[in-house]
Structure 1
Amino acid sequence: IDEGRTRIGQARFLANIFWSCSMLTMVAIAIDGLGFAAWLFLSSVGLTLIYGVMRILNIAHGGFYALGAYSAAWAIGLYTQGGGPIALTYLLIPIAALVAGTIAGLLVERGILRFMYGRDEVLMVLVTYAIFLILEDVTKLIWGTESYVSYQPALWLGTVDIFGLPYTVYKFLIIGVAILCGLLLFWGLNHTRVGKLLLVVIQDREISSALGINVTLSFTVTFLIGATLGALGGALTAPEVSVVPGIGSEIIVMAFAVIVIGGMGSIGGAMIGALIVGFARAASVHLYPPAELFAIYLVMAAVLAFKPYGLFALAESRKI
């Protein structure tokens, strides 16, 4: 009897350990997935906005992301060397993203893309890919090939324990910024005059032009917003990673996976796609790390098998 009780006690002990480990794993998957999804949404929402209005698969978006990351890392490093308060670095991040995204976006759209409107979509892909390569070289010419580390904003906020698991508070800051950006975009598109005009252009640019809407100006405004959002994604990421050459190549692949899953041109689709990719990656990392990249593309293939145009693809008008 005593031996039986001992074995039952051991079984309960092992069951409790297994249950605790399972709960910790689920918590880790939830938080890591949400954090990764927030980063993906910030990095890809500008890409899907540009496609929705302009019908351009903008591969150069990865270059805007890299410019934002380098600008923020450089500005934070330069500022902290002067011994200023770390709290002000949180103001430098959006400023760096705004400056980098606005300047680069304006030069690309006004200097190159405006001459390509109306061309074949495949040609636009090749043009934006060439721009992406140019932006990669521009970052190397300006900041060199060494890595930049701007850990001060993330370190200053400290960490918080959730069920015994330590997480940086900065991760939750990024989640909050992603939610705020999503709400602002939804409000701006649906409750402002400029946003409603953009929605009209998204539906039919020819009718929009016939109604007197300045489609060219709409394209410029949309591209600047998209480029700035891409730069903001990079700027917010800079305190958590080492900013190195080629940082834009990784994000453009992930961003395309997000918008393809959610539906190209859909802001809400980008949010759902980011959540799906984020949780798929987090689950694979915690449960079976070798399948990290495979899991993302497996999810994308599974979604496209049932919804070839994505979960929330915009309806395409057909002229007869």
Structure 2
Amino acid sequence: MNTLFAILIDGMIYASWLFLVAAGLTVIYGVMRILNMAHGSFYAIGAYSAASLVGWYFNGDGDSSPYWSYALLLGCALVAGLVVGVVLEQGLLRFMRGRDETLMVIVTYALLLILEDVTKLLWGVDPYFAYQPYRLLGQSEIGDALSFANYDLSLVVVSIIVGLIAWYALNRTNKGRLLRAVIHDREVAMAMGVNVNVMFAVTFVIGSILGALAGALTAPAISVTPGIGIEVIVLAFAVVVVGGLGSIGGAAVGALLVGLTRSFAVHLAPEIELFVIYGVMFLVLAVRPQGLFGQILARKI
């Protein structure tokens, strides 16, 4: 029973992290039809920004409450995602709207490599640590002799909140309905007076903020080192492919499926841990090539 509890809780924690990473990627693809390979760099920039600022905050001589560090994490994600998203979308991607999806993959992959070098220029190659917010919340005992960090458990709550906000914004607000109209038929939306260019810009910035948020919230739990963005984009890609490109619900289900499967492998067969994620992706795509919640798009002639 303890092993089962450990598998379920570990799987939920890992799934919540995967969803936070993949949410921004699937939002951008759902609206703009861009498989944004640079999303991993948004994650890395959010992590580096949070780790450096939190480290500065705790090394200072002020008497401020340590709990303000959580506000710093959120602030770093907002500012970093906003700045990077606006610069890239307005400085490059807006000139390439409507181009072939394969070309956009190549362009965003080039941006990933460029931004990886930019992070090295700004923060160097030494690891950054921001462990204080992680330790601050302590640990909880679950079941018999099972101990989990409360910070990890809080990520589950954050991912649920992010998912509910995204669902509400898309389905219960006027702007969300306009965005769904752009998703379903861009040309008709333009004919009805929807400013598609503004919708694209806002969507890309929201996706970049979500990517930076995932990095900022992960920074206290890891060693922030060069290359974390490239590692993350592979996992995020696996999740959105399993769930269905462009579907928030699909990203949630895909993250849960991958997270629980990986947790079972870690506890019961650790030698196949790296294989199971891609094994799940292979099995899903063999049955549904468009993913679990992906839509089959009609081809325009």
Alignment pair present for 1:69 and 2:47: yes
Secondary structure at 1:180's aligned position in 2?
helix
CA distance in 1 between partners of 2:80 and 2:298 (Å) = 35
CA shift, 1:290, in A, is 1.4
CA distance in 1 between partners of 2:172 and 2:55 (Å) = 39
Where does residue 156 of structure 1 map in the other structure? 136
- 1:197-216 mapped onto 2 (5 Å cutoff): 197-216=178-197
The residue type paired with residue 71 of structure 1 is S
The residue type paired with residue 141 of structure 2 is D
Alignment pair present for 1:182 and 2:163: yes
- 1:19-168 mapped onto 2 (5 Å cutoff): 23-83=1-61, 84-163=64-143, 164-168=145-149
CA shift, 1:228, in A, is 0.3
CA distance in 2 between partners of 1:274 and 1:109 (Å) = 27
CA distance in 2 between partners of 1:166 and 1:315 (Å) = 44
2:11, 2:262 within 8 Å by CA — same for their partners in 1? Answer: yes
Where does residue 223 of structure 1 map in the other structure? 204
CA shift, 1:85, in A, is 2.1
The residue type paired with residue 86 of structure 1 is P
CA distance in 1 between partners of 2:87 and 2:297 (Å) = 30
The residue type paired with residue 147 of structure 1 is P
Secondary structure at 1:167's aligned position in 2?
strand
CA distance in 2 between partners of 1:86 and 1:186 (Å) = 32
**Higher deviation after alignment, 306-315 or 255-264:** 306-315
CA distance in 1 between partners of 2:178 and 2:49 (Å) = 32
Where does residue 194 of structure 1 map in the other structure? 175
The residue type paired with residue 42 of structure 1 is L
C-alpha deviations, 1:122-159, integer Å up to 9, x for none? Answer: 11011000101111111111111100010001101100
CA shift, 1:121, in A, is 1.0
Where does residue 303 of structure 1 map in the other structure? 284
Secondary structure at 1:303's aligned position in 2?
helix
Where does residue 10 of structure 1 map in the other structure? none
C-alpha deviations, 1:178-226, integer Å up to 9, x for none? Answer: 0000000000011111111110000011111111100000000000000
Number of residue pairs the alignment of both structures matches:
298
CA distance in 1 between partners of 2:25 and 2:19 (Å) = 10
TM-score by length of 1: 0.92
C-alpha deviations, 1:94-118, integer Å up to 9, x for none? Answer: 1000011000011111111111111
C-alpha deviations, 1:15-46, integer Å up to 9, x for none? Answer: xxxxxxxx111111100000000000000011
Secondary structure at 1:242's aligned position in 2?
coil
CA distance in 2 between partners of 1:64 and 1:233 (Å) = 9
- Tell me which structure has the larger Cα radius of gyration: 1
CA shift, 1:319, in A, is 2.6
Secondary structure at 1:313's aligned position in 2?
coil
2:290, 2:296 within 8 Å by CA — same for their partners in 1? Answer: no
CA distance in 2 between partners of 1:68 and 1:319 (Å) = 39
Secondary structure at 2:67's aligned position in 1?
helix
The residue type paired with residue 272 of structure 1 is V
The residue type paired with residue 310 of structure 1 is G
CA distance in 1 between partners of 2:174 and 2:122 (Å) = 38
The residue type paired with residue 253 of structure 1 is V
CA shift, 1:172, in A, is 1.2
The runs of 4+ residues in structure 1 deviating greater than 3 Å are none
Gaps of 5+ in 1: 1-22
2:12, 2:156 within 8 Å by CA — same for their partners in 1? Answer: yes
